[in-house]
Amino acid sequence: MTPSQTPPASFSPAGHAQRDPLHPGMDKTVLIVDDAPENLLVLSEVLQPHYLVRAATSGERALQVAASVPFPDIVLLDIMMPDMDGYAVLERLRANPATRDTPVIFVTAMGAIGDEERGLNLGAVDYITKPIQPAIVLARVRTQLELKQARDWLRDQNTFLEAEIARRMAENLHIQDVSIRTLAHLAEVRDPETGNHILRTQGYVRTLAEYLRGNPRFAAVLTPAYIDTLTKSAPLHDIGKVGIPDHILLKPDRLTPEEFAVMKTHASMGSDAIDKAELGAERPIAFLSVAKEIAHSHHEKWDGSGYPDGLKGDAIPLSARLMALADVFDALISRRVYKEPMPADKATALIIEGRGTHFDPDVVDAFVAQREHFIAIAQRHSDSAEDLQTRMDALQVGQAAHG
């Protein structure tokens, strides 16, 4: 059989020969490259009883064969060839993603140590000198094929494990998101005025955070990971309202000073509830820590006149400063059973008026710069007339129940 001929075999869709049970080695393809036909003949006689053999007599032809079906599992490459030597062929093989991982053994009469080092540095896996010894050729080829098989197996295993880890992480994150929404809706069920407030404030907070990433004052904190955590935590800002008595929470009129004092406790009740949830965790959970900050401090004011702790300036967690503006803006522009929504321009003016007193000045500046995004979010998650009627009905039920 001549070097240009290949024993009959069937091939898989991936381009590699399928295993022949009568010839166990015949599922592997060896490409031999040499400009001397007599050298190809010798190598073919050694290899063909064990492997499928393809041959090329030039560097250019070797590159074509290496990139075509059946793809070689290993290449035996001569160095001294006209037009394109073995070093150049190896560089081209390594540069092509399709052949980058194909092992290459140099087969050459060049015996200088420098020649061998150069080939190995370029990525050759082994070096066989001429005249060849059949037993050595077969042993070297078998060893490299086994190593390649092991590498491929490890790569496939790693790919599988990475995919499985990604799948499980995505599943856990999905469960986490659903759990957060469920907890947030507990507050929504108790407070029928909430509506899509959760979705809107979540969008506002992300918008502010992403804009402020460009501000040196916040860049170290507002990493993409932190912004994701912040956005995920935002829906829990009013979770403490589940502890407020119905006759206060559902009251449609202005609260008395005594009632407002009770209402204000929802901030600390929310953070206390999250704190207790954290105690049962084996390790710190980032979104719970941020959620606790937001729940506890989103009613604090920049000038220190807020509650529950009267924190001032940068002593207020950044997460709570962002939520403070988002919460107030949404309350201003939203319809309530006892009021019409405030026009966006008037709400904007009130936010700007609170710059440096109620709100962090830089956060207000971010809001002004992103005002149109806020309005788009409000429109996208607006409450329908049906939502409003549902809330009115709930308030009426609550009023009747509590006189």
pLDDT tens digits for range 31-64: 999 999 999 999 999 999 999 999 999 999 999 9
pLDDT for 171 equals 75
Whole-angstrom CA distances from 200 to 129, 197, 364, 378 are 73, 5, 17, 6
Query: Order of strands across the sheet with 29-33?
Result: 52-56, 29-33, 74-77, 104-108, 126-129
pLDDT of residue 362: 98
What average pLDDT does the segment 246-266 reach?
A: 89
Report the pLDDT value the prediction gives residue 210, as an integer from 0 to 100.
97
Mean pLDDT across the stretch 288-298? 94
Q: What is the mean pLDDT of residues 113-120?
A: 75
Cis peptide upstream of residue 308 (ω within 30 degrees of 0): yes
Residue 395 has pLDDT above 70, yes or no: no
Q: Is the peptide bond before 131 cis (omega within 30 degrees of 0)?
A: yes
- Under CATH, what is the fold of the domain 24-160? Rossmann fold (3.40.50)
**CA dist., res. 264 & res. 273, Å (int):** 15
Residue 6's pLDDT band (boundaries 50, 70, 90)? Answer: very low
Over residues 1-19, mean pLDDT: 40
Residue 397 has pLDDT above 60, yes or no: no
Which CATH entry fits the domain spanning 191-401: 1.10.10.10, 3.40.50.620, 1.10.760.10, 1.10.3210.10? 1.10.3210.10
CB neighbours of residue 214 within 10 Å: 10
Q: Is the pLDDT of residue 313 over 90?
A: yes
Q: What is the pTM of this model?
A: 0.58
CA contacts within 13 A on the Cβ side of 146: 6
pLDDT reading at 12 higher than 50: no
Strand partners, 108: 129
Residue with the bigger pLDDT between 18 and 51: it is: 51
- What digits encode the pLDDT tens for the residues 168-195? 877 777 666 666 666 666 666 666 555 5
The residues spanned by each domain of the chain are 24-160, 191-401
Determine the pLDDT at residue 87.
Answer: 93
Cα separation, 257 vs 335, in Å, equals 24
Strands (E), 223-313: none
Amino acid 338 reads Y
- The residue ranking higher by pLDDT, 325 or 3, is 325
The predicted-structure confidence for 198-247, as pLDDT tens digits, reads as follows 889 999 999 999 999 999 999 999 999 999 999 988 988 998 988 889 88
Residue 186: predicted pLDDT: 65
User: In 121-253, at which residue ranges do the beta strands (DSSP E only) sit?
Assistant: 126-129
Q: What is the pLDDT of residues 322-375, one digit of tens each?
A: 999 999 999 999 877 667 889 999 999 999 999 999 999 999 999 999 999 999
